[in-house]
Amino acid sequence: MSNESILVVEDEKLLRWSVVQRLTQEGYRVSEAPTGAAANDILGGGDVDLVLMDYRLPDTDGSQILRDVLGKDPNLLVIVMTAYSTVQSAVEAIKAGAYDYLTKPFDLDELVFIISKALETTGLRREVAELRAKLGEQYGVRDIIGKSPKMLDVFATIEKVAKSEATTVLLQGESGTGKGLAARAIHSQSRRANKPFLTVTCTALPENLLETELFGHEKGAFTDAKSERRGQFELADGGTIFLDEIGDLSQPLQAKLLRFIEEKTLRRVGGDMDIRVDVRIIAATNQILEKAVEEGRFRPDLYYRLKIVPITLPPLRQRIEDVPLLVQAFIDQFNREFNKRVKGLTDEAMNQMMRYHWPGNVRELRNMIERATLLASKEMLDTDVLFPDRPREKAVESPTGEGAIHLPPSGIELDKVEAELVRQALDQADGNQSAAARLLGITRDQIRSRIKKFGLGSSGSKGRKE
C-alpha cells in the first residue's frame, strides 16, 4: 500500500468523489478541493506529494494555478485533467510545468497507472537528490551515485583516506567504474582541497614526453626545450595529482616515480638540482597489478608503495541495485542538457537494464542514456532506443542446458573465465576483433582492452582487427 499524499482539485463534485474514492482504495492519503483558492490553502500546510487538478476551475485557469502550485514547491508533481481535448491545452499545461495531463473522460485505471509512474519517478529523483546531498556533505562529490553495500563501503573508505595524511592511494577497478570521480572526491574532502587537482593519463604521451610532462625540463635539455618548464608534479605542489592507467607506465618512469614518492623530491629533465614537492599521488588502473608484477611489467617495490591504501571500485554488475538511481540521475542530467522531457523507462526496458551484464560499467550506462534521451520521441524510453543494436537475448540470464556455465564448489578465478571466453570468441571469429566483440556483446574497444589485459594479441589467437 502507498502512503503518498495526493490533492484532487476538481469543481465537478461527482468526478471528484469518484477519483478520491479510487485513490483512497489504492492506499493514497487523499485530500480534495473544489477551487483554486481552497487548493492553495491546503498546499500552504505542505505534505502533498502530487496534485491532480482540473485545468479549468471556477475561480482561476490552469496556467495560473500551476504557477501558484509550483511557486510553493517547484518539485511538486502536477497532473492536469482537462475536458478541452486540444493540443493547445496540453501544450500550455506542460509548458507551465505539469508532469502529465489526462483528457476527460478518462479511465480510472489509466489515472492510477499514470500517478504510480509519476510518484515512482519523483521518488527516484528525491532519493538521488538526498544521496547527492549526503555525499556532498560527507565525501565532497555529487556525481557518485549508489546505495548498494559495496558502494557504501567505498564511500566510507574515501572519507577515511581523504582526511588522512596518506600521500599515495591506489584506485583499482574496471574501465568505467568511476575511478576519476573517486579521485576527485578524495581531493575535495582533504586538506588539499583548495590546492590544484591535476590529471595525467599515462598512456596519452610517448615515454620521453610523459617524463617531461611529469617532471618538467630545463632550458636546452633537448632540441625543442627553448625555455624552462615546470612539470605536473611541481604544478600540483600542495595538492593532488591523479595518475590514470598507472599500469602502463614504462619501467624507467616507474623507477623515477618511486624515487619521487620516497624522497619527495624531483629533478627536471636536464637538471642537476633536486626540487622538494608536497603532493598526494592517486594512481588508478584497470589492470591486475599483482599479475603485472609477476610478469615483470611492473616494479614490485612501486606496487607495494602505491597499495598502502587500495580502494577497489566495484563493477556495475556487482551493484545492479544502483541501476535505477543512475538511470534517473542521467535522465535528469540529459533532460536539462538537451531540453527534453523524458520521464523514465518502460518496465520492460528497466527489466532488461537490470539483467544486462554492463561490460562498460557506469560509463556505458551513461552513454546509453545520453544517446536514448537525445533521440527520444516518447516520454518513456523503451528497449528499441536503449538497445538498438543489441538483441534482447544478450541480456544476462542464467543459462541452462548445453552451454550453461556452472560455478564449481571450489570456486574459480573470474579473470580466467573471461580470458577463455575472449580467446574462444577470437578463435570463432577467425581473429576478427569486431566480430568477436559482437559475439560477446561488447564494443571493439572493450575487446581490445581485454586482449591486451590477458595477453591474447601475440599467442592463442590472431587478434586481427578487422
Q: What is the 3-state secondary structure (H, E, C) of 26-47?
A: CCCEEEEECCHHHHHHHHHCCC
**For residue 375, is it within any domain?**
yes
Q: Which residues contact 35 (CB under 8 A, 6 or more apart)?
A: 9, 11, 57, 58, 59, 60
What is the pLDDT, as a whole number, of residue 73? 75
Do 185 and 307 belong together in one domain? yes
**For residue 135, is it within any domain?**
no
Please tell me the distance from the alpha carbon of residue 137 to that of residue 142, in angstroms, as a whole number: 9
Do 183 and 68 belong together in one domain? no
**For residue 331, is it within any domain?**
yes
64, containing H or E segment? helix 62-72
Do 439 and 379 belong together in one domain? no
Q: What is the CATH number of the domain that holds 192?
A: 3.40.50.300
**For residue 141, is it within any domain?**
no
What is the pLDDT, as a whole number, of residue 446? 83
Q: What is the mean pLDDT of residues 21-34?
A: 91
The residues facing 243 across adjacent strands are: 200, 283
- Please count the other Cβ atoms lying within 10 Å of the Cβ belonging to residue 324: 19
Do 294 and 161 belong together in one domain? yes
Do 408 and 390 belong together in one domain? no
What is the pLDDT, as a whole number, of residue 397? 44
Higher pLDDT, residue 320 or 100 = 320
**For residue 238, is it within any domain?**
yes
* Through-space distance between the first and last CA atoms of the chain, rounded to whole angstroms: 56
Where is mean pLDDT largest: 78-92, 135-149, 234-248? 234-248
What is the pLDDT, as a whole number, of residue 269? 87
Longest Cα pair distance anywhere in the chain, in angstroms?
Answer: 90
> Of 375, 394, 413, which residue is a domain's last?
394
Q: Is 58 helix (H, G, I), strand (E, B) or coil?
A: coil
The overall average pLDDT reported for the chain is 84
Q: What is the CATH number of the domain that holds 55?
A: 3.40.50.2300
Do 418 and 466 belong together in one domain? yes
> Of 373, 394, 415, which residue is a domain's last?
394
Do 15 and 91 belong together in one domain? yes
pLDDT in tens, 394-405: 444 444 444 556
pLDDT-derived band at 355, boundaries 50, 70, 90: confident
Q: What is the CATH number of the domain that holds 386?
A: 1.10.8.60
Q: Is 3 helix (H, G, I), strand (E, B) or coil?
A: coil
> Of 360, 394, 428, which residue is a domain's last?
394
**For residue 134, is it within any domain?**
no
Q: Is 79 helix (H, G, I), strand (E, B) or coil?
A: strand
pLDDT in tens, 161-195: 999 989 999 999 999 999 999 999 999 889 998 89
What is the pLDDT, as a whole number, of residue 4? 84
Query: Percent of the chain at pLDDT above 70?
Result: 87
pLDDT above 70 (res 197): yes
Do 155 and 304 belong together in one domain? yes
Do 428 and 326 belong together in one domain? no
**For residue 410, is it within any domain?**
yes
pLDDT in tens, 367-415: 999 999 999 888 899 988 998 875 544 444 444 444 556 666 566 778 7
Q: What is the pTM of this model?
A: 0.60
Q: What is the mean pLDDT of residues 316-325?
A: 92
Do 30 and 113 belong together in one domain? yes
Do 175 and 302 belong together in one domain? yes
Please tell me the distance from the alpha carbon of residue 202 to that of residue 246, in angstroms, as a whole number: 6
Lowest mean pLDDT among 14-23, 30-39, 142-151, 338-347: 142-151
Do 156 and 242 belong together in one domain? yes
146, containing H or E segment? none
pLDDT-derived band at 461, boundaries 50, 70, 90: very low
DSSP string, 212-259: HHHHEE-TTSSTT--S-EE-HHHHTTTSEEEEETGGG--HHHHHHHHH
What is the pLDDT, as a whole number, of residue 68? 78
Q: Which residues contact 175 (CB under 8 A, 6 or more apart)?
A: 286, 360, 361, 363, 446, 449
Q: What is the mean pLDDT of residues 18-30?
A: 91
Lowest mean pLDDT among 79-93, 225-239, 242-256: 79-93
Counted domains in the chain: 4
**For residue 41, is it within any domain?**
yes
Q: What is the CATH number of the domain that holds 430?
A: 1.10.10.60
Q: What is the mean pLDDT of residues 253-271?
A: 92
Structural domain for 89, as ranges: 5-129
pLDDT in tens, 281-296: 999 999 999 999 999 9
Q: What is the mean pLDDT of residues 14-31?
A: 91
Q: What is the mean pLDDT of residues 15-22?
A: 92
